[in-house]
Amino acid sequence: MTLRSLIWQELRSRPWAALSNSLAILLGVAALVAIRHITVASEQDVSHQLSDLGANILVLPQEATLQDYYAADQNSGTLPEEHVSEIYLAGLTGIEQVSPRLNVPATMRGLAITLTGILPQSELEAQAAWQTTTLFTAPKGHEGCTKAKITAAELEGTDSIVTHRAIQNLAKNEIIVGADVASRSQFETGDMVEMLGKAFTIRGILSATGTVDDSRVFAHLRTVQEASGSGPVCNAIEVIGCCEDAAGSLVPELRKLLPNAKVVTISQVVQTQVGVNRLMANTSWFVLAVLVIVGGTSLAGAITANVRERRREIGTLMALGASPSFVQGLFLGKALVLGVVAGTVGCVLGLTVAVAAGPAWAEVSVSVLPATAILAIVVATSLAVLSALWPSRKAATLDPCLCFQEV
């Protein structure tokens, strides 16, 4: 009989023993796969929430407060615009977008408004020094967490100022008018207006948001700096960061980088969920440890007991000419089959639980992560083979004569 036929005969003749031997590994893999899939889905959901919020970190002057930032006429306190390049050059992990803003009071056709200067992303991208730095300090990503990079096409429309807190291109003589300003003054796209001694063309009107953006008019940062005589400064720098970093180490790193500025986060709305995600991620590592210890010990003990019970059969095989490597391969092959089956069944069970229970447990839709599933099967198989290594070696070193002496 061949090694393969002996292994299959053993498994067919004792199916319940095979099941009990691999049950710990099966359940461990199921729990690990389920927790990991729900965690990644939850991280992606948090990422979408932060994307909807827009900027989740603000760099403000020391004297400013978060309430000042949200005031429609906020214009007190400034920051050097060079802080923007310092943030880029630092290559901090998790930063995805930086947008400086300068608010100044202005009058447009007799209507008092807040004129907000913004720097188009196309001009930020054109900075050769920042492009070079990005090549060597590319931010490190987080599985399931890092938001998809916002494309230039997504920033072309005027409403991208609200949705993504930035715009790709904006001419120095163009402005974008908030919904409330447009309704109170009957402004329309294409109208010519004058502010701070300069003529502007209305490029577009923002959709109503219910925020202070409705009461603001947006223009090119350089134009606002020149017209107001403020110089190369801004009132605030809005930063969009990866959810894990925005709620974790990124704020302390920015505070260390800019000691003379105030760095605050406005992502508390999802910070609790980020904490839950971390707890679930740590739990998955705990489950992995349990899988290795309990599953490995259980299988090793079961195979050791099997070797002890079948000493006479092993002795008979060796007396008939079976080599030690053949005997060792018999037990390692059995462990390999148990590991693959337990890993595959456990993976399918974990995926089923995650897809079914994800919406109820974490209010997220779970999709299959092929890499995680394959890794779980590989870990289960490797664990099974390693657990059988020592018992199989003991079986290969048995003396046939001593085996036949036993009653």
Rg for the chain, CA atoms, rounded: 32
Q: pLDDT per position in the chain (407 positions), as tens? A: 566 666 666 666 666 666 676 777 788 888 888 888 877 777 666 655 555 545 578 888 887 765 555 554 455 688 898 898 888 888 787 777 788 889 888 888 888 888 999 988 877 766 544 444 444 444 444 444 444 456 677 777 777 776 767 788 889 999 999 888 888 888 888 889 998 889 999 998 988 877 777 888 999 999 999 998 989 999 888 887 765 555 557 778 888 999 988 887 765 544 555 556 666 667 777 777 777 777 777 777 777 777 677 667 766 777 677 777 777 777 788 788 888 888 898 889 888 888 887 777 666 778 888 888 898 888 888 888 888 888 777 777 766 665 555 54
Alpha helices in 178-261 (DSSP H): 179-185, 221-228, 243-246, 250-257
Alpha helices in 294-369 (DSSP H): 296-309, 311-319, 324-361
Count of beta carbons in the 10 Å neighbourhood of residue 2? 8
**pLDDT for position 175:** 92
DSSP secondary structure of 110-176: TEEEEEEEE--HHHHHT-HHHHHHHHHSPPPP-TTTSPPPPPTGGGSSTTHHHHTS--S---TTEEE
**pLDDT for position 241:** 73
**pLDDT for position 10:** 66
**pLDDT for position 301:** 76
Q: Across-strand partners of 107?
A: 112
Contacts (Cβ under 8 Å, ≥6 apart) of 204: 157, 158, 176, 177, 189
Q: What angle do CA 295, 18, 284 make, to 5 degrees?
A: 25
User: What share of residues in the chain are helix, strand, coil (percent, to 5)?
Assistant: 60, 15, 25
**pLDDT for position 135:** 43
Q: What angle do CA 378, 384, 390 make, to 5 degrees?
A: 135
* Residue 402: Cβ-neighbour burial (10 angstroms; 0-12, 13-18, 19+): exposed
Q: Which H helix or E strand runs over 41?
A: helix 15-53
Q: What angle do CA 231, 237, 242 make, to 5 degrees?
A: 155
**pLDDT for position 332:** 82
From 342, 328, 255, 361, select the one nearest 296 (Cα to Cα): 342
**Residue-wise over 113-123: b if at least 16 C-beta within 10 A, else e?**
bbbbbbbbbee
Q: Across-strand partners of 241?
A: 95
